[in-house]
Amino acid sequence: MSDVEMAAAAETDWVRVTSDDGYTFLVRRKVANASETMRDMLDTAGNYAEAIARTCPVQQRGVIVEKLLEYMSFKAHYAEAGPRDEIPVQELMERIPPEIVLELLLAADYQNM
C-alpha cells in the first residue's frame, strides 16, 4: 500500500476497543486517534501486538469506555469545525453522569486526550 492509501485506510478502517468487563466497541480509527495513547497503541510504525490485532484494551468498566468513546467521537467529529461553527460542549457535559466523573477523569488522563 502506498502512503496515501495507508493514510486513507487509517482514517476509515475499524478498530476494536475492549473494556475490562468484557464489552467490545467498534469505532473508526479516526475516532480512536482522538486519544494519543490509543493512537500510539495502534501505530503501525511502533507495531506492538495491539497494532497488529487492531484492538485496544482499556482497563476500565464498559460504562467508562463508552463515555470515553462518546467524547472521542465528539472530538473527532468537531475537530475540523471552523471557528464560527457552534460546538455543543454544554450538551455533552450534561450527558456525563456525575457518578463516574472521577473515574472518567483518570481514564482520560491515561488516554492522554
Amino acid type, 16: R
Bridge partner residues of 58 (DSSP)? 19
Q: Could you tell me the smallest distance in angstroms from the CB atom of residue 13 to other proteins?
A: 18
Question: E strands of 12-66, at which residues?
Answer: 14-19, 24-28, 55-58
| Residue whose entry in the numeric block shows the C-alpha cell 473515574 | 103
Nearer to other proteins, 24 or 81 (CB): 24
User: Other CB atoms closer than 10 Å to residue 111's CB: what's the count?
Assistant: 21
Site string for other proteins, 65-94 (x = CB under 8 A): ----------------------------xx
Q: Does 21 bind other proteins (CB under 8 A)?
A: no
Interface with other proteins, residue 34, by CB under 8 A: no
Which window, 7-15, 68-76, 78-86, 99-107, contacts other proteins (CB under 8 A)?
Answer: 99-107
Rg (CA), the chain: 15
Q: Is 24 in the site for other proteins (CB under 8 A)?
A: no
Angle at 74 between CA 12 and CA 78, to 5 degrees: 80
Give contact residues for other proteins (rule: CB under 8 A).
36-37, 40-41, 43, 45-52, 56-57, 59, 93-94, 96-103, 105-106, 110, 112
